Amino acid sequence: MISRYSKKLQDLEAKGRLRSLKPLGHDGPGIVNYHGRPLLNLSSNDYLGIGEDVLLRETFYQSQSSENADDFRLTAASSRLLAGDSQLAHDLEHDLASAYQSEAALLFNSGYHANIGILPALYGKGDLILSDKLNHASIHDALSLTRADHRRFHHCDYEQVRSLLIKYREQYDQVVIVTESVFSMDGDVADLQHLVELKEKFNAALYVDEAHGIGLYGQKGLGKVEEMGLLGHVDLLVGTFGKGLASIGAFVCCSSEIRNFLINHSRSFIFTTALPPVTLNWNRFVFLHMLGMEEERYHLQQISKQLRLQLQEKGIVTRGSTNIVPILIGEDSRALHQAEAMQQHGFLILPVRPPAVSEGSARFRLSLCANMQWQDLQALPELLAAMRGAKKSEK
């Protein structure tokens, strides 16, 4: 007898949606080894190439000495509220708050932990959360955990946000608008200035998830909030170390009052083992290093623009304006087969399918990183155009 789980797995496979783990080796900057073949990794979030920077990693480990061996311990072995706190955590939070011109900052173990821990802690019965429909899954999960009412507005539709605020603001004690700065699947950008104006006009709060903006935008790489000159105007700014900063962990910049409230009410903060000292040490090291990576940010913007231009010249429609370049395909099985074909041509491209994106919008999510050169990418437009042409000939 086939179990209900086997049947569901078979259904996923039939739809082209069955996922599996893929162990990868590393053959150099931006290159992975997959099934014995070196491939350019276009599915990574190591946007600045920090994770593949051997010299930077060696510099970090050379800073270890017998005098500061505790800073390189591999476990905290407790939550921060018990015995897992350290001065390293407080130093990192101080650096983050200072850089972001914020009263305070608080660390979380991941971006997922941050989003599911902050929103349910701060907003409950009598409050309203307005969330962009294309926000990350962790934000959608947070909405299901909170007792607050919530409404999802059409992607970047700020006239709808205004209408919702006009209709509902006076019915609720607190209202918060939640958005990503750079949207992870479409590579487009929120109009943060517009949202700041709306939140100030209607006495609401603004929550911005900068997961895909940190490291890449602004003079110091603090994200789209910095680039748009809005530091100090966002009530809750969430960032991660797991993408452009090549580590693990997350943080929120907020008021001191909110920080203290989260320490006492955020379940994903309270009930988890703290990040180990070696990770805190690395996070502080790479954050301070990232502040000066202007050349890498500029280079990444240039190759991203060049790829988009070449794709447009080949008649390939894409979205957004960032280093995340989506190529819409449509059918799940077609995306799967074309991804396998791209791997045969030397590119690690993994298909993005529902539920990560909406039905009928399976795609490639080309993720460009600063340790890539244009010559690494220049064959892509022609290959993608050839596949597009093959699709038309099948009809």
Q: Could you give the residue numbers annotated as active site?
A: 45, 136, 180, 184, 209, 212, 243
Q: What is the DSSP letter of 82?
A: T
**Helix count (H) and strand count (E) of the chain?**
15, 14
Q: Residues 285, 68: contact at Cβ < 8 Å?
A: no
DSSP string over 208-238:
EE-TTTTTTSSTTS--HHHHTT-TTS-SEEE
Q: How far apart are CA 157 and CA 63, in angstroms?
A: 48
Return the closest-CA partner of residue 238 out of 331, 139, 171: 139
DSSP string over 345-377:
TTEE--EE-TTSS-TT-EEEEEE--TT--HHHH
Return the closest-CA partner of residue 262 out of 131, 124, 120: 120
Structure tokens given for 109: 């173990």
Return the closest-CA partner of residue 278 out of 63, 53, 106: 63
- List the beta bridge partners of residue 40: 31, 347
